[in-house]
Amino acid sequence: MSEKIIEIKKLNKSFVTEKGELTALNDVSLGIEKKDIYGIIGLSGAGKSTLVRCMNLLERPTSGEVIVNGRELNSLSDRQLRAERRKIGMIFQHFNLLMQRSVIDNVAFPLEIAGRKKKDARKKALEYLEAVGLSEKANAYPAQLSGGQKQRVAIARVLASKPEILLCDEATSALDPQTTKSILALLKEINEKYGITIVVITHEMSVIQEICRHVAVLEHGRLVESGTTEELFRAPKTAEAKRLVFSGSEHILEMTSERVVRVSFHGVSAYEPTIGNIVLETKTPINILYANTSTVNGNAEGEMLLQLPEDDEKADRIIRYFREKGLNPEEVNADVKSAGNHNDN
């Protein structure tokens, strides 16, 4: 499992624009293991799309290496690159289907590129349409489909070229929450069934939470934090990661005064009535400013921001109590606030 299928080394990418040079990626290095589902998260303009486009060289990096399956993509000839790209599928936010081709002919397209006869390609294409549950739409045209169905066609089309890697560029960002869930479930199934390594680009933490095992946080073209998804949710280290994990809590922070702690619940402890017990035992009220508990890959992960009493003695008692329970309250007043302010930019 530790074999790296994608390795990015010291990647830089800048664009020349009318306003001068724009750095999209700044010294990014990362490694993605075979069969992993790897998320790359960041706000728009962070460079995520550029980074994922460097992984199949739709975008040529200014410097640095992109090694896929042990081959440095920049050193390949055009012909070799095209052959390599067939093993690196990609799906997009706006699906990018051929609008003048029927659904089945869209799926047959990569097979035609690979030199298969049209009839043979169609037969094979139908199998992939079945795999994504859309065989009854084979003769429809993309304009007649819903967003979720279009993305399923795009996934079937990618599967037809038998990729080892699937790059997803904001693949669920144009879809409603319900459809997003079903597409993510399909991606997870593909990962398990075909052993395809999946790279997910998103600005939504919920997408990372739903399917990713590893995650990298991108900010202004720099990779600021990476690790397992559990780690990121349990203990985000950088301000950017905290901001993403706590997104939605900024408005509460304006009201906070005095001491605020962040408590991370991990695994089973999220199911214990910890807060209730503390209030009962210390006889001190605490104010829950923000709470977000959820299930990450089967483990319960929870975050809470708690406002402690102004009385230091009482506050310390509460902190001590958390420590006894094996939880690690962190005074986050300053940095969460700054992360919150940061978001206004």
Which residues of the shown chain bind other proteins in the complex (CB under 8 A)?
A: 56, 58, 78, 82-86, 88-90, 92, 94, 96-102, 109-110, 112-114, 141-144, 154, 157-158, 161, 167
Nearer of residues 159 and 253 to other proteins, judged by Cβ: 159
In the complex, minimum distance from the CB of residue 168 to other proteins, in angstroms, rounded to a whole number: 12
Nearer of residues 8 and 90 to other proteins, judged by Cβ: 90
Nearer of residues 28 and 165 to other proteins, judged by Cβ: 165
Q: How far apart (Å, rounded) are the C-alpha atoms in residues 44 and 326? A: 37
Residue 190's identity, in one-letter code, is I
* C-alpha triplet 57, 201, 125: angle, nearest 5°: 70
Nearer of residues 159 and 217 to other proteins, judged by Cβ: 159
In the complex, minimum distance from the CB of residue 284 to other proteins, in angstroms, rounded to a whole number: 57
Nearer of residues 99 and 288 to other proteins, judged by Cβ: 99
In the complex, minimum distance from the CB of residue 115 to other proteins, in angstroms, rounded to a whole number: 10
In the complex, minimum distance from the CB of residue 341 to other proteins, in angstroms, rounded to a whole number: 36
In the complex, minimum distance from the CB of residue 141 to other proteins, in angstroms, rounded to a whole number: 4
In the complex, minimum distance from the CB of residue 97 to other proteins, in angstroms, rounded to a whole number: 7
Nearer of residues 85 and 214 to other proteins, judged by Cβ: 85
